[in-house]
Structure 1
């Protein structure tokens, strides 16, 4: 038997529990991974409360989580590009990553560089690939100015660094407590809240070329008010605004395999070109506490579970 996060009905944090489940056995093309780290993400909250059933239907009991990093425990037929003992980064498409042992399609895995910490490796898929897709979707060119909301959060902390690597001037919207981190990464910090439009204009006197919204709550409208073209706005979270105004919602790898983007991000981290802030690490048994912190929506970086 092995442990896994489960819930039997839509609801708040209190529906989450840790179950004893049968040890999974890999089928053809699958790898059984002993999970060392599995990050949590706001989308999992939306799934758990039933807010995304029209896009992602649920069956119960439901597992939870996509991001993972761990050690290969067993391989199925045709998955011999990996061997037991290999350290890997990957993602579950079955909402199953928050567990001790997880079955993963072999194409959803990439080797973990030895100098990338487990907590970082287990934080790359949802936030990293989302940020990668959003930065590419707004087609940044060297010298352009982009505004990124929730700039020190899970997605935002990736996006600001990737946008800087693209040669853009980056304005990051964040609370005062995160401004020093943003400055240290070449980002112009701007406080969110009342008067944010005037503060952005002061920071970008020549105008704003692109906008990446990683928070929701009116930032698409703000981008339009700043004169940003519809095709240069991407929201990773406000799908209602995207449908209303026609802005982009391209959080995926834009035609590239997720594992390929994971490998690129891991290589940047291993080379010291990309930092992944880790806000907190919880044991699997404290999954409710982890989501309590996440749902306050003031976290700098990633929250990770360690089975």
Structure 2
């Protein structure tokens, strides 16, 4: 195989709880991760020369060791003694710095692409172990689907695929560094923690309304206090008929779940008119089993 084309899927968090902080400064989480049908297209080719060539469709993104996709290729080359090179072209469709794991998903796709291109005998579990060196979301982006993520996000329990949900996704014109959000998170007796176990139960019963009612993200308390427009977008989605709306990851992207496609399309048009977010799309949850 000399060429491979992959989809690097975005993710949302249906629930995100922070349950503690480790001595090394990393936070311990319990999150429900879910892929959605927004993705970057990753094209990879073998090169005779021992080098990594990376191109992206966004000129402001780095194409060297400062890019997770580049580091993923280098990690695979170093770990498995690959002496040939690789060319990587990424057509970016997932918004950057959005809380949708775009960079992590690109890195995961590159790792899987390297396995295929160079016929590496490595299990998905081993790839996930390697992937956590690049970032806490990378193991999920390798596994994909629906999962409970614990630890720093790398301890994954696969969950049954949820019934397809119609989604409205909006990203305001903000850059929200994940590190800053976690640094400003205060965990105390007043912290409102989402019911992750109840959320999983409703998901397994295909109870859309129960699931939606239990969605929660403990990081919203920090991100919204810094950027109130996130709450404005959440409120607007609810006003436009969303069953519920939530910030994904550390933000600033907000998604709303809709129980009716016509209602979704109408909400899309009206949210676009508000200018609250330059990026507004309709999509749905992605079942990788299909």
Structure 1 and Structure 2 fold alike (TM over 0.5): no
TM value normalised by structure 1: 0.25
Which protein has greater RCO, CA pairs closer than 8 Å, 6+ apart?
Answer: 2
TM value normalised by structure 2: 0.26
Higher strand share: 2
